[in-house]
Chain A
Amino acid sequence: MATAATRDTAGTTAYGTPDATGDTTAYQRAFDAAVAADDRIEPRDWMPDAYRATLVRQIAQHAHSEIIGMQPEANWITRAPSLRRKAILMAKVQDEAGHGLYLYSAAETLGVSRDELLDKLHSGRQKYSSIFNYPTLTWADVGAIGWLVDGAAITNQVPLCRCSYGPYARAMVRICKEESFHQRQGYELLLALSRGTPEQHAMAQDAVDRWWWPSLMMFGPPDDASQHSAQSMAWKIKRHSNDELRQRFVDICVPQAESLGLTLPDPDLKWNEERGHHDFGPIDWTEFWDVLKGNGPCNEQRITQRRRAHDEGAWVREAAAAHAAKHHGEARHTGQTGAARA
């Protein structure tokens, strides 16, 4: 936390752990004050163990979602119907890998390693967003993911740019800029289809029909069933409740669907003058919990592919490590990776 009280003159935290008596009261008070003042908590600041654990869980799950989320879209890279669309899609999938890297770095500031987190993903001990367990069956799904899935992600993530943990908030600022771009591209893809041939229009409508409800589920369980919400809001990790964000998203999407010339698959969807919001139909929470438990259409496929990529790449990572060990101390430029430019 960037308060003078907790930092020495060099600008680093004067103390990282409670004193020998284990009394954390003073630290807790300083932490609470920093959160209350909307200060940012930084990696070397004291923080409650539960705050650290919550952030590790949330940031890791967020990073995993970026990485698993590459799969449904990469599924269409080799079949993209024009070179312009292919370039846009490749750039998007590349951005997602980059977002994964930012987020693993943010998680690492909390004292976990990327390898450890990947291991938890591969063994099913950590989750990723339920949305990526749905299949991309047509080209229009790429547009629906951009418009609805990225749209929902942005609605969720913009408030995270003000999250109390500095490294996470800063990662979100960069990610949200790129995500907004992807979302506009997805919308524009759907618009081209909607205004195209009757077959293309039908393809766009079918995709929206299949992705609408899973997108609403991205905001998580309803407020009365969300176990982490209250604490996360008190810590200012979260700024709005699941249901608030979901409502905001529905209100944004309705006029967009109209201008796309597509309908949303909800007979109960209508403007409520009194509330100043759109009412919408009930979400199938049984499906949500099923997908979360691993029984969605693609859970098995997604994790198997991720594990396979990791396992089949082991010899490459071992080679890089062996090479680095042999040539330790040589000019640094020989160790530069391709990603340095990207």
Chain B
Amino acid sequence: MTVTVDTTAAAALALGDDALVLSHRLGEWAGHAPVLEEEVALANIALDLLGQARVLLSMAGDEDELAYLREERAFRNLQLVEQPNGDFAHTIARQLYFSAYQQLLYAGLAAGDGPFAPLAAKAVKEVAYHRDHAEQWTLRLGDGTDVSHDRMQRACDALWRFTGEMFQPVNGVDADWAGMETAWLESVGEVLRRATLTVPEGPRTGAWAAGAGRQGLHTEPFGRMLAEMQHLHRSHPGASW
């Protein structure tokens, strides 16, 4: 597949924004995790994602200009990754859905020879760890106590409607989107069943048309997240840090 530089930049922005925004959300957990080992693990995942975001955004332009000076409508991330942390179950459900997607996407990209192959080859190793972490916690919470089972089920149900967007083709990313979606449904479904959870049955495209986040249409909590993330940088125009 031949892509122009501009297409690659736009695609890098979409994938970079996913990593940037999810990293930010995970960063909000610092000092609030249920157990010290999870302080380490969540920060570790957040750092991996931030590393991916920096490489990807740099492919699209200046990483800090892109992160700190774009407004909400110019961000191209999936709506899934901007969802608030909620309780630990919501964070884990979001991680399970996203890391399973990222693992499929990066494994495919790493195997190809496109512009994202080098990044994907490194990231796929990190993502395998993220996926394992999310899967183990899905099993513990789903097949733990009655309380944790109910919380995990609610979280999986609540975020299900954001999962369809992941498989809307991104222009400039050479992937088998339909094949990935089938594989994703199968592998996530298998984890949920092992965790004694019910695979949600609701729609997977949410209130906006699928692909909304990729077009800059986001959910309400996202604007507030950006306000916090960007305020200091914007308060000192042109300063370097």
Contact = CB atoms under 8 A, between A and B. Distances in A.
Nearest to A310: B34
Interface residues of B, number: 56
Given A305-B32, A323-B139, A94 B47 contact: yes
Contacts of B37: 101, 337-339
A316 B28 CA distance: 18
B229 to A, nearest CB: 6
B209 interface: no
B173 to A, nearest CB: 22
Contacts of B231: 79
B241 A309 contact: no
A320 interface: yes
Interface in B9-36: 20, 24, 27-28, 30-36
Contacts, number: 173
B136 A334 contact: yes
B35 to A, nearest CB: 6
B129 interface: yes
A153 interface: no
Interface in A63-92: 67, 70-71, 74, 77-87, 90-91
Interface string A182-223: 000000010011001101100000000000000000000000
Nearest to B151: A315
A41 B132 CA distance: 40
A71 B88 CA distance: 19
B232 A139 contact: yes
B240 A199 contact: no
A332 interface: no
Interface of A: 67, 70-71, 74, 77-87, 90-91, 93-94, 97-98, 100-101, 104, 139, 189, 192-193, 196-197, 199-200, 305, 308-310, 312-320, 322-324, 326-327, 334-339, 341-342
Given A83-B50, A104-B36, 6 more contacts: A81-B233, A196-B240, A313-B33, A319-B140, A323-B140, A336-B132
15 contacts: A78-B228, A80-B232, A81-B233, A83-B64, A83-B67, A93-B39, A97-B43, A139-B241, A199-B239, A200-B236, A308-B32, A313-B35, A314-B34, A316-B38, A338-B44
Interface of B: 20, 24, 27-28, 30-41, 43-47, 50-51, 53-54, 57, 63-64, 67-68, 87-88, 129, 132-133, 136-137, 139-141, 143-145, 147-148, 151, 228-229, 231-233, 236, 238-241
